[in-house]
Amino acid sequence: GMLLIQNYKWSSTLQLKAGLYYNKEAFGNFFVPLVGLDWKASDRWQLFGILPTNYKIEYAIAKKKWYTGLNFKAFTRSFQLSPEQNNDYIRFDEVVLKGFLEYYCAANIVVYAEVGQSFGKSLLQYKGDFQNLSYSNPNYTPIGNYVPFSIGLAYRIRTE
């Protein structure tokens, strides 16, 4: 794959991004135009990311210790099946909106919790001949929306 991003810094609190994402997926060439806005709206509010793939709205409850907000993620992936399965492929589209809470227990060490809602997730098998893009296998039916949640420990470098 390939990712090209151009940044335009308008001020110390506003940065625009534009670019293109490319990947060779099992269903063919996959191009996604990208646009982003990084904006430090105030001492506590910050918006950053690149649409349509990942965008975050963050509020600093206590700077350098507690953060909360919303995180949007959208992904498309595909997996090629074996020749025994006629080189069919699985396409997986996922869109998730999560609320999060983060606590920095030490420099760059964060404990976090996330909970959210998925939209439009699917796991479908398609014909490998690329001529018939219709749904082909009832073993891979559309998966309904779900409630993702996670807790974890991470190493992060903040640039504020």
Please name the residues in contact with 121: beta carbons below 8 A apart, sequence gap of 6 or more: 92, 93, 94, 95, 142, 143, 144, 145, 146
Please name the residues in contact with 42: beta carbons below 8 A apart, sequence gap of 6 or more: none
Lowest average pLDDT, out of 41-45, 46-50, 91-95, goes to 91-95
User: Is residue 69 left, alpha or beta, with left meaning phi > 0 and alpha meaning psi from -120 to 50?
Assistant: left
Instruction: Indicate whether 86 pLDDT > 90.
Output: no
Return the amino acid letter for 36: G
Q: What does pTM read for this prediction?
A: 0.82
pLDDT at 131: 59
pLDDT at 105: 96
The total number of residues written for the chain in this structure: 160
pLDDT in tens, 127-149: 776 555 555 565 566 677 889 99
